[in-house]
């Protein structure tokens, strides 16, 4: 009889303990959600209009409205009409399931977010998505803080725009992860692409798009992050029923970034590339643009970024340019004291007519303790080198590719005379059809191939 009694006692304890654990978890979730709401307030331009939290035993509900200013909307969506700019309110309701095993999923809580829309917006979206929800957001919160967010939007086929073009969008999925204080962030984005058949006979094709990031906050409460990120588009093209079969096509476009630090100095390296680019009659392959900014003083850069994202409330609204320059005037001279270096590791491309490549590096000679007050003063301190190599047929083809035959012949003739003039002055070195030059800028003087440069008078 003892064993059944113990089992009953254990079951009773669990029955009592689970609601207690769920209640305790709910209090933690409420505190965490309230903290997130407070953290959202200082984000650039966003305003928390209202926030309510209704906590239950096994589930809770958070109701909040965030207001996006028209300036922020215009910066991301410049094509929208701006006749009467108004803030955009986002009304979000978070349905929270919590407990030791929320919804039979491991974690402290699962949050399903619902974006509440007015009737007119719902009707407009229904024409595109039908009965599908246009947006799904699910957040998983961990016991030890942090969590993950899975955001997705479904595929659809619809007629869009004034000309009612046929658009097939293949959906999107975003998976983000974060720790308890947002010091570490990761993100994966994937969208299979879209095809738009426009009524004028042209077709817009966007291939698979992907992004990934793994970042760590450089300094507490800063918007500056270290780590890697990448983005890619398999294809971006516009075909037409006109003269040109493929007026524009971009294949295998890739962007990679890497931000590292050693002590207080940071390096930022960016690599851009594409497998193929066709624009009108121009065709290139194996394109690269790799550049880096090194020796950036991290603490000063963090203050600069924070000042840009959080402008002073005392700024003169009418003087937008002065407001934008104020952080640079304050922190820019300090950054220059650490002799930052800008380098173009390579700009290169291949074409049927030949190849081209540029590499360059620029830094400041001696700025320790110097407060730079003007562009002229900065140029006097600037020193740099560059190397250029290009196939002459590629250069002349680029300058006259889309001109009519008569204009093309004239432009190519002018180009040949200019190249011959630079060769005669020693500014250009020729090896067959390959042209090259070495540039040096120091103390306000440009030298090309070791010779002081002066603009030709004829």
- Which tens digit of pLDDT belongs to each residue from 211-230? 999 999 998 888 889 999 99
Structural domain boundaries, residue 2? 1-116
Please tell me whether residue 280 adopts helix, strand or coil conformation.
Answer: coil
Q: What is the DSSP letter of 373?
A: -
**φ, ψ at 25 (rounded to 5°):** -65, -40
Q: Is position 222 within any domain?
A: no
Angstrom distance (rounded) from CA 273 to CA 286: 7
- In the predicted model, is pLDDT for residue 9 greater than 60? no
Nearest to 245 by CA among 253, 237, 254: 237
Q: Report CA-CA distances (Å) from 360 to 195, 356, 377, 438.
A: 39, 14, 21, 10
Q: Is position 379 within any domain?
A: yes
Q: Is position 426 within any domain?
A: yes
**pLDDT bracket for residue 352 (50, 70, 90):** very high
Angstrom distance (rounded) from CA 302 to CA 306: 6
What Rg, from alpha-carbon coordinates, does the chain have? 29
When divided into structural domains, the chain yields a total of 2
Q: Which residue, 60, 83, 116, sits at the end of a domain?
A: 116
Question: Across-strand partners of 156?
Answer: 169
Residue 289's pLDDT is: 96
Mean pLDDT of 351-362: 95
- In the predicted model, is pLDDT for residue 354 greater than 90? yes
Q: Is position 75 within any domain?
A: yes
Residue 373's pLDDT is: 65
Q: Is position 192 within any domain?
A: no
- What global pTM score does this model have? 0.77
**pLDDT bracket for residue 4 (50, 70, 90):** low
Q: Which residue, 116, 139, 154, sits at the end of a domain?
A: 116
Q: Is position 33 within any domain?
A: yes
Q: Is position 343 within any domain?
A: no
Reported as half-sphere exposure (CB side, CA atoms, 13 A), residue 20 has a value of: 6
- In the predicted model, is pLDDT for residue 358 greater than 80? yes
State the residue for tokens 């966003």.
Answer: 46
Least confident among 83-97, 244-258, 389-403: 83-97
Please write the tens of the pLDDT for every residue from 247-302. Answer: 788 999 999 999 999 999 999 999 999 999 988 778 999 999 999 999 999 999 99
Q: Which residue, 58, 93, 116, sits at the end of a domain?
A: 116
Is the torsion defined by CA of 299, 327, 308, 260 positive or negative?
A: negative
Angstrom distance (rounded) from CA 392 to CA 91: 59
Q: Which stretches of 245-387 are DSSP H helices?
A: 298-309, 320-336, 375-381
Q: Is position 24 within any domain?
A: yes
């Amino acid at each position: 009889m003892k064993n059944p009694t113990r089992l009953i006692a254990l079951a009773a304890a669990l029955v009592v303990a689970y609601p207690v654990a769920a209640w305790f978890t709910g209090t933690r979730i409420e505190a965490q959600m309230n903290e997130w709401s407070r953290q959202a307030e200082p984000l650039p331009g966003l305003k928390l209009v209202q926030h309510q939290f209704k906590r239950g035993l096994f589930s809770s509900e958070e109701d909040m409205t965030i207001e996006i200013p028209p300036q922020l909307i215009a910066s991301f969506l410049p094509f929208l009409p701006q006749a009467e700019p108004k803030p955009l309110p986002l009304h979000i309701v978070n349905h929270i399931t919590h407990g030791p095993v929320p919804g039979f999923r491991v974690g402290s809580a699962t949050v399903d977010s619902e974006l509440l829309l007015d009737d007119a917006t719902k009707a407009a979206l229904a024409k595109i998505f039908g009965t599908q929800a246009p947006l799904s957001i699910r957040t998983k919160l961990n016991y030890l803080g942090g969590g993950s967010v899975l955001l997705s939007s479904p595929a659809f086929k619809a007629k869009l725009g004034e000309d009612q073009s046929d658009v097939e969008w293949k959906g999107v999925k975003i998976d983000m992860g974060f720790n308890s204080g947002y010091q570490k962030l990761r993100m994966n984005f994937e969208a299979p692409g879209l095809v738009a058949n426009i009524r004028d006979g042209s077709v817009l094709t966007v291939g698979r798009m992907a992004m990934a990031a793994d970042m760590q906050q450089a300094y507490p409460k800063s918007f500056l992050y270290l780590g890697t990120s990448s983005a890619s588009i398999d294809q971006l093209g516009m075909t037409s029923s006109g003269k040109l079969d493929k007026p524009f096509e971009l294949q295998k476009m890739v962007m990679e970034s890497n931000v590292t630090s050693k002590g207080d100095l940071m390096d930022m390296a960016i690599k851009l590339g594409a497998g193929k680019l066709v624009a009108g009659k121009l065709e290139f392959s194996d394109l690269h643009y790799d550049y880096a900014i090194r020796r950036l003083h991290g603490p000063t850069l963090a203050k600069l970024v924070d000042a840009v994202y959080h402008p002073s409330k005392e700024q003169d609204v009418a003087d937008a340019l002065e407001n934008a320059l104020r952080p640079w005037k304050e922190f820019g001279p300090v950054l220059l004291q650490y002799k930052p270096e800008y380098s173009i590791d390579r700009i290169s491309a291949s074409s049927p007519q030949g190849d081209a490549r540029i590499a360059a590096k620029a830094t400041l000679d001696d700025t320790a303790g110097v407060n730079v007050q003007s562009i002229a003063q900065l140029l006097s301190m600037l020193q740099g080198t560059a190397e250029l190599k290009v196939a002459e047929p590629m250069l002349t083809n680029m300058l006259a590719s889309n001109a009519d035959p008569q204009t093309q012949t004239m432009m190519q003739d002018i180009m040949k005379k200019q190249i011959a003039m630079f060769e005669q002055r020693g500014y250009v070195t020729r090896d067959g059809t390959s042209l090259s030059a070495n540039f040096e800028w120091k103390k306000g003087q440009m030298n090309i191939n070791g010779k002081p440069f002066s603009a030709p008078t004829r």
